[in-house]
Amino acid sequence: MAQAQLTIDLDAIRANWRTLDALSDCETGAVVKANSYGLGADRVAPMLAREGARRFFVATCEEGADLRKALGQGPEINVFGGHMAGDAELIRDAALTPMINSIEQMLRHAESLPGHPFGVQLDSGMNRLGLEADEWLALRDTAMKQKPRLIMSHLACADEPNHGMNAHQLRNFREMTEGLDAPRSLSATGGILLGKDYHFDVTRPGIGLYGGLPFKEAHRVAALHIPVIQTREVQTGESVGYGNAFVARSPMKVATISAGYADGLIRALAPKTYLWAGETRCKLLGRISMDLITVDVTAVEQVPETLELLGPHQTVDHLARHIDTIGYEILTSLGNRYARVYRGG
């Protein structure tokens, strides 16, 4: 079978949620947007609901509607993107809680779904989503009379504990929300790790659930093993792959494995990336193509049926450093062609 296997450890996600939950004295939700960062919200969210999570966060109403089918009635599903034009039916039918980001969204929500639950997102300094201070001042009394389910903001630099932006946003958020009768939320994974001053009433762990930084103590969640389709002997001076990007300087053994950029393995990974055959590190050769990758297995006496790209030797954050990106991008880029195998749960 020439299909790579992505193994997702639900017990590891559960353990990560428990650890992050234990760091605060407040309610702990779960961010499951982008299909639980590519790992399957239909499997992850119900498991976390059984564990005790009662608030889930998605990016769009379409994600929220899919999540409601997986969760059933009960848990609250908060939509970061708020109430966009055309969303009213989805919000109503899936019992979603849009996080209102503007006066326009507030008017749309009040007119199309009067009395339906909502939350409010404030811009505490990131300049991305949310009501700015003057907008919130104009809307606050009206919004609070309708009892928002949550008031939240988002930290821009929480993965850098000493960055001055963290204290700046904390101060702004407190000034915008002090004394209001509604639960407050400021922290995703990085904010949880900043300490109790940042926790308020609800935390929203995301990447930390899935084994990524800045949660250094996270249990590893994802493993990726790619089948070896063929091995060949390559002689000195012979090239490998598109564009003659690699030329052998000595005789070597090369394995061709069944994955590529169509599976979310970004082409820029090629120059610095290794795979593993047991305990032997094997360099990726030449270019990553759509469906295939070539790997130096000269040092491997008995080439295994699969090579490991993600696993005990290498995480999404290791791969991310090779191309100056973040583990989020590596994880959410993993494509749909993998055979997904779930462990635990």
**1: in domain:** no
Q: d(Cα 113, Cα 12) in Å, to the nearest integer? A: 39
- Label the pairing between strands 306-310 and 339-343: unpaired
Of the pLDDT bands very low, low, confident and very high (cuts 50, 70, 90), residue 61 is very high
Of 187, 210, 233, the domain-final residue: 210
**Helix %, strand %, coil % of the chain (to 5):** 35, 25, 40
What digits encode the pLDDT tens for the residues 221-270?
999 999 999 999 999 999 999 999 999 999 999 999 999 999 999 999 99
Residues 92-108 have a mean pLDDT of 98
Whether residue 257 is found in the same domain as residue 188: no
C-alpha to C-alpha distances, 266 to 57, 299, 312, nearest whole angstrom: 27, 26, 21
Q: Are residues 65 and 182 in the same domain?
A: yes
Mark whether 269 and 125 lie in a shared domain.
no
In the chain, the percentage of residues whose pLDDT exceeds 70 is 100
Give the gyration radius of the chain's Cα atoms.
23
Residue 129: CB partners within 8 Å, gap ≥ 6?
80, 81, 82, 101, 121, 123, 154
Residues designated as active site: 33, 242
Query: In whole angstroms, what is the distance from residue 319 CA to residue 313 CA?
Result: 11
Domain of residue 303: give its range. 222-343
The pLDDT value given to residue 345: 82
CATH number at residue 302: 2.40.37.10
Separation between Cα atoms, residue 298 and residue 258, nearest integer Å:
18
1 has a pLDDT exceeding 80: no
When pLDDT is averaged across residues 193-210 and rounded to a whole number, the result is 98
Report whether pLDDT(161) > 70. yes
**pLDDT band at residue 2 using 50, 70 and 90 as cut-offs:** confident
Beta strands at 306-310 and 222-234: parallel, antiparallel or unpaired: antiparallel
User: Which whole number is the average pLDDT over 161-176?
Assistant: 98
